[in-house]
A and B are shown apart, each in its own frame.
Chain A
Amino acid sequence: MKSKLLSILAFAVLTCFSMVAVAQESRNVSGQVLDEGGEPIPGVNVLLVGTSIGTVTDLDGFYQLSAVPPGATLSFSFIGFQTQETTIGNRPEINIILLEDVGLLNEVVVVGFGEQKKANLTGAVTTVDSRVLESRPVQNVGQMLQGVVPGLNLQTTGLGGELNQNLSFNIRGAGTIGAGSNSAPLVLIDGMDGNMNALNPQDIESITVLKDAAAASVYGSRAAFGVILITTKSGKQGTAKVNYSNNFRFSKPMGLPSMMDSHTFAHYYNEAAINAGRSAVFSDETLQRILQYQRGEIDYSTVPDNNGDRWMYYGGSNGNTDWFKEQYKSVSFSQDHNLSVNGGNENSKYFLSANYLDQGGLTRHGGDNFNRYSLAGKIDLKLNEKLSFNYNTRFVREYFTKSSHLNDLFYHNVARRWPTVGVYDPNGHYTDPSEIAQLRDGGKQENYTDFYYIQGQLTYTPVENWNIYASGNYRVTNWNNSANTLPAYAYDVTGNPYPLSVYYSAPGHSAVSEYNQKENFFTTNIYSDYSFDINQDHQFKVMAGFNSELNKYRNINAGRTGLITRDVIALNTATSNFTNSGAYNHWATAGFFGRVNYNYKEKYLVEVNSRYDGSSRFLADQRWNMFNSFSLGWNVANEGFWHVDQVQMLKLRGSYGELGNQNTASWYPFYLSQPFSVNAGAWLLNGLRPNIAGAPGIVSELMTWERVQSYNVGLDLAVLDNRMVINFDYFNRKTLDMVGPAEEQPVILGTAVPNVNNANLQSYGFELEVSWRDHIGDFNYDIRGVLSDDQMKVTKYPNATGNLGQGQSQWYSGRKSGEIWGYHTIEIARTQAEMDAHLENVNQSQMGSNWKAGDIMYADINGDGTVNGGSNTLSDPGDLSIIGNSTPRFRFGLDLSGQYKSFDFRVFFQGVGKRDYMPNGPYFWGAGGQNQWQAAGFDEHMDFFRDVNSPMVQAGVATVNLDGYFPRPSFDDGKNNYTQTRYLQNAAYLRLKNVQIGYSLPQTFMSKLNIGSARVYVSGENLLTFSKLSKIFDPESVGLGGWNDGKTYPFSAVYSAGLNINF
């Protein structure tokens, strides 16, 4: 906390400083800017380097600048021309000839084992530079990339906003159904497999995403579903440059539901109980107390129970608590600091950086926190004319801590905590159900994850254009997780403590556990490339090499219970129930690869890749496989016959390739393992947990590689002096022989049918990227929009009976991913007569019984007079049909940035264009159809059907609501809660992800402080959301884990400010 205060102070001081204006020394410079043909260029930006001072040339190309410090450098830039810099010296007049910029077309992109001119790319590749990573007040690279790269889908997952939860990602949609194999893209950081989220975003120079097989295939069997290449910054020749930047942020939880007040809640629960034919949950006496408490007539939230020793809670207590407001902070603080140094000379360059991130959590009691420390260094040495050496190290530590009690069960509990339970009991102790004692006193969990990368590469250039590379890369990852459980107490009526369960452990229990895992990952790359041409028209580049990867990990786990004291927590200070375990695992791959690039006058482009790959996951006879791909391109605009001046580039591309996917869920899919656990039995023998074992399942001997075939066609277009650039790709990717469960078998088999390669999947879609860069006078702006779509369809699946399965979620041939099966709702019956008339025609008895006004009338869509799910098969789905699709479609991002004099801004929108969602559980349904102890009562749930018979109407606490959105609530009776059209949600959204406004401080003032340049900015995250989704949910919480929909850690809206200084 102290360090946080200091940082705030430092920030405030710096910010104030910058506001002081200082008088400047006067000096004038002027001149004219011409193009190569001698024509004047209007609108050229003339800028004093490192400042925001500048001007623009007039119609005749003239400019004039006053108040220029001596020794400064001027920069001349204009769209379509190469930027030039020149030192002013003593010259009062500086005329400049700008060279036409073929830069955009000459831009070089990092591709597999090399670089390629963007103009000559034939595969589906998107590159982003570090600009998109700047000044975003978020935790990691994944969050920064969401909505930036078309086809790179980053999706919230797990328990939502938990601080150690990264976004999940894929390229062009999931490539498998996840039944025994995975389709994760390969992430390479400076050529080595790595975790992009455990990386200081400010170290990144550029990110290239290789999307189709032709682009990715050189990486072989780990790259079947695309590659993300991250290149980190390197030292640049010149005097040492120091950069310091920081960011201070305040996060607010987003999208928390609002609980009913306790009196409304109590009546709502009574309504749900009485509608279910039960006696009321709250007695008239308790209802009275609830009112008195709300009015302030009594100050105690509960009274003793029947036995007199314990307080009553839930149905017997009378507090008034919104548990979401109680358990989450209204605001939490975070900060981020970066320092980097770089420089060098002709023979040696260096880059060093350090980063500290302190991310505060939103939980109010107990708390949670995430820290990242990163230290990176890169040295490039030219050893002699032919030999150079690069050395790269990076250390990243992630530290995550939270209360041991803070977990999925807790998020589940928050929603089902009744508002009638008080935070404090009448004696002032935290109440038993509040779980606050457990959060505060129940111990904590601390996870350290250390990543250590060492990379070395030797480059030998025997003759010009022939390079031989040899690199060794080593990564060590250490997980050191410790967790402890300490006794936490509630208090009885007389103030005596009694212990509570912390998470799932027994009350009063204390325990400590340690988990260590070490992963050693070693890769080598040896390859060589040679480029040459024939008559300058025929340009060739050939490359061949070898790559191997070996991953080994080992872990050890130990625990004890019975801590001697809660002040010293370690294995050594705990006394009983010693447990330990440990395991080793490993896998390896090896591959030979080659590539030939050919182009004729940069008009006709050809690339052929080949890779011969082996994996340890398959037995020797299945192990090796050859994968080939090729791609073609035609630069139409380079043709002699092309005379459209507005079009600088028009390129058609096409590619086809096949890759194998070795990413099986099990590292040893061919080995049948014996289920066996030590001291794990639940049936005690002689007072101890016995060892236990069970029957092994079945393994198929037929399992082999999944084949991933990928087709891509694309178009690149640059028009209007390269102001507008358009890239479009259409892809169709087939996962053949996909691993899936074998054909459904009669359950008499007694075990799960083994996975085999017996299904096919197709993913298809498109990506579009449009950018526009221009200026209006002094105002430079940049617009970039991306749009992508992917769908996934199972084209072959062994499901002979067409069984739709539990929740109609079973795969079958022709099923699209995300299909939602459900019933058609006619509407809620407003009167008993209306319901009876409906039941005259339609038998709903298989959906439930006791149909009343306020219940759902389902449509008999197959016209058989009965509403039901038929045989739950494709051929007989009864009245079930596909009513929607939960796949996020048409993901988009819109990035607007601009600069005006000293000010700059960025506005970034991100969203999903189409998505259906059928929420389930108490978050959505409230008490309707839920068990009393799982149900919830939020403000939105009050919009339920009420006629004059409603207990709440009769009690005079609610008015008749015949147009209610929800059906009449009734505990445990799910007849109104089937997946159905009425409640299908539109989960499409548009979110203002980031807004930032920066101001660059005046140069003259900064130079007195020896500061090269400085920028202050404010930046906000998740500031606005547009969606038609029920207000109970955040659109990004759709489809997450947790006990039910919505039961996750909240996401946050962030407000931040920061500073960026160059020395």
Chain B
Amino acid sequence: MSTAAVFSLSSCDEYLDRAPLSEVTPDAFLNSEADLSAFTINAYSFPTHGGFSVGIFGNDNHTDNQATANAASRWIPGEYRVVQSGGVWDFGSIRNMNYYLETVLPKWKSNDISGNSTNIEHYIGEGYFLRAYEYFNKLQALGDFPILKRTLTDNREALVEASKRRPRNEVARFILSDLDSAILLMNNSPVGGTNRLTQNAAFLLKSRVALYEGTWLTYHKGTAHVPGGPGWPGAGRVDNFSIDIDQEIDFFLTEAMHAAEQVADQIPLTPNTLDNGYDSSENPYFSMYASKSLSGYPEVLLWRAYDPSLGLNHNVNHYINRNGGNTGYTRGFVDNFLMANGLPIYARGSGYSGDDDIADVKEGRDSRLQLFMKAPGELRLNDVSNPDGSPVEEGTPDITGLLETRYVTGYAVKKGLSYLFDESEGNVGSTASIVFRAAEAYLNYIEASYLKEGSLNGKASAYWRAIRERAGVNPDFMVSVTATDMAIEAKNDFGAYSAGLVLSDPILYNIRRERRSEFIAEGMRMNDLKRWRALDQLKETPYVVEGFKLWGPMQEWYKDEETGASLLVTPEDGGTPNVSSPTESLYLRPYRIVLSSTNLARDGYKWAYAHYLEPIAIQHFLITAQDGSGDAASSVIYQNPGWSLQANSGAVE
């Protein structure tokens, strides 16, 4: 009996050996070009269209450019709070790319990856690019951050040690070095074309990162937001620290210029046919934002394609085409656009037609405003017509309608509009989403070179003219510069400020204006304002968002068809208010409709110094605290300036 048992035991062992039958183990992977491609494409996590919204065209909401029906907590100090756990202090994507690089690099060096060597190098370059991109997100959100180049094991001590933050300038240098590696390895014609990252995209990102850090250090110098600055929380807690801040600034601005010109010299801007905005369907500069494929637009360096039949769609035109999409440009933004002749609207002889009607506002202006802002009566669809045969045109803006579809300010976003009926249906949007476009390189160069050199060099002037020409604005930017009145601009534009002071240099101001006008509804605004330190003034003087001039002739648009009674209800009317009062402003004030104290944004946008960076969640301090102390303050991690170590508390300063 016992011998039988022993016998069956050994045969049993074989019977019990059961390895997975349909899964591969990691050592069988990342050995071929195709494996590398599958890995990096999965790590593309750029902001693109999606969900029930206007897509990336809403990413400038909650700035002085664009507003949505309810204000964000970042404008209400005390309401933007430290969270208990989670947040941006997260390393999943970074570990993903570190795993990729540390696995692939040795195999590549020993020639163990099968496939086309150009493509293999390109995909390795993408690994560097994607790590740099993740790191840039961290740099913008948190500033100082741990620099991590490999995956870690679950060893507590090592993890705590690795959690130590490094000064932000080092982080930025690390990003630039990754991008240099990417630039070395990547090419400009990968499989997939501009649906895939390219060397040009790496140059552009490099210029963006370098400009970001160079200007951050410039404008935040002398604050706790800069390594070595007074009150910098890293003081005494960062090993081997030294900084020569001016040298750093110079380094980053130089890098920004060099990277930017690589793109700007090579890539032309998409032409603008300068139509009047009624029907821009044949204008390449307009259709660049609303076409299914962007492979024919060299200016676009990276874009994402959609195909509803593959389950990938968005709703951009369900909103942009059909309604206001719960967004709208602010009056400050609209007024900030120049006239086509290059003059600000307030300048003598500007030819500005006033703002009694949206059509007047657009008349004679910068083509970008004419193209990318709606006015009633403009064509909406060109493949269907009304039952009576008339064209389908934009109606008057519904400023009181359903929140999701509301024209919040009356000035509606038109960027991304497709004239095709099918695109305007729900869940079938298929227009491409732009991630990087070359015009940014032009603007990055202009700003970096002007800051570094103190004047506009020939290249910067040429780039600027090219941008203005394309925008249908007088290419002679000095016309604008000399006509600029900073006191007036300061009312319309946060970008007129740095460190709480109005800029004294009108050239620098007009460089910033150009950026604001070119990136209309592209989600670049908030990061620009932060790096320019352009929000300090709100601590003293809140900013009340305004929209179009409702209480001029346009109030006639809001009457009951049958009775002729006004549909507008102001707070003092009694009943249910749906617009702000004409007694305080002729312009619609979306955050002044409900005036009860429950409306925390009723006094306008305010700012707290801490809000330039995000807080780190409390749990991260506790888990890295000195053994068992449970004391967040003893952690190797330090909190960002102005934020406390108490969950759910608002900014301290």
Contact = CB atoms under 8 A, between A and B. Distances in A.
Contact of A582 (B22, B306, B427): B22
Given A673-B20, A750-B94, A868-B647, A850 B597 contact: yes
A936 B204 CA distance: 48
Contacts of A282: 576
Nearest to B95: A750
Interface string A739-760: 0001111111111011000000
Interface in B369-400: 380, 387, 395-396, 398, 400
B499 interface: no
Contact of B428 (A508, A582, A849): A508
Contacts of B84: 806, 869, 872
B648 A588 contact: no
Interface in A585-643: 585-590, 592, 614-616, 620, 623-624
B400 A283 contact: yes
B89 to A, nearest CB: 6
What's the dominant secondary structure at chain B's contact region? Answer: loop
B41 A685 contact: yes
Interface in A651-670: 667-668
B191 A509 contact: no
Given A280-B578, A876-B630, A869 B648 contact: yes
A693 B70 CA distance: 39
A871 interface: yes
Given A306-B401, A693-B38, A806-B85, A671 B25 contact: yes
Contacts of B153: 698
B35 interface: yes
A285 B400 CA distance: 12
B182 to A, nearest CB: 18
B131 to A, nearest CB: 12
Contact of A696 (B26, B42, B86, B575): B26
A991 B6 CA distance: 55
Given A577-B310, A585-B22, A673-B25, A744 B427 contact: no
Contacts of A688: 310
A667 B569 CA distance: 65
B505 to A, nearest CB: 40
B39 interface: yes
Contacts of A671: 19-20, 23, 25
A745 B425 contact: no
Contacts of B442: none
Interface residues of B, number: 119
B85 A846 contact: no
A506 B402 contact: no
Contact of B622 (A695, A803, A845, A849): A803
Given A280-B578, A686-B195, A592 B70 contact: no
Contacts of A871: 618, 622, 630, 632, 647
**Centre residue among B29, B70, B567, B623 by max chain A CB count within 10 A:** B623
Interface stretch (B156-164, B354-362, B470-478, B507-515): B156-164
B26 A306 contact: no
A498 B649 CA distance: 48
A277 B596 contact: yes
Interface string A858-880: 00000000001101110110000
A618 to B, nearest CB: 9
A582 B309 CA distance: 23
Contacts of B22: 582-585
Nearest to A592: B5
Nearest to B324: A306
Interface string B533-561: 00000000000000000000000000010
B251 interface: no
Nearest to B4: A546
Contacts of A744: 623
A446 to B, nearest CB: 22
Contacts of A585: 20-22
Contact of A501 (B85, B427, B594, B632): B427
A307 interface: yes
Contact of A279 (B154, B309, B577): B577
A466 B371 CA distance: 96
A260 interface: no
B600 A748 contact: no
Nearest to A684: B305
A696 B92 CA distance: 11
A185 interface: no
Contacts of B380: 307
Interface stretch (A16-24, A240-248, A675-683, A891-899): A675-683
Contacts of A277: 594, 596, 598-602
B576 A846 contact: no
Return the 4 tightest CB-CB contacts between A and B, nearest first: A750-B95, A277-B599, A692-B42, A695-B99
7 contacts: A307-B380, A314-B402, A588-B15, A589-B16, A667-B18, A676-B24, A748-B148
Interface of A: 270, 274-285, 287, 305-308, 312, 314-316, 494, 498-501, 504-509, 546, 548, 550, 561-562, 576-577, 582-590, 592, 614-616, 620, 623-624, 667-668, 671-674, 676, 681-696, 698, 742-751, 753-754, 800-803, 805-806, 845-847, 849-850, 852, 868-869, 871-873, 875-876, 932, 951, 970
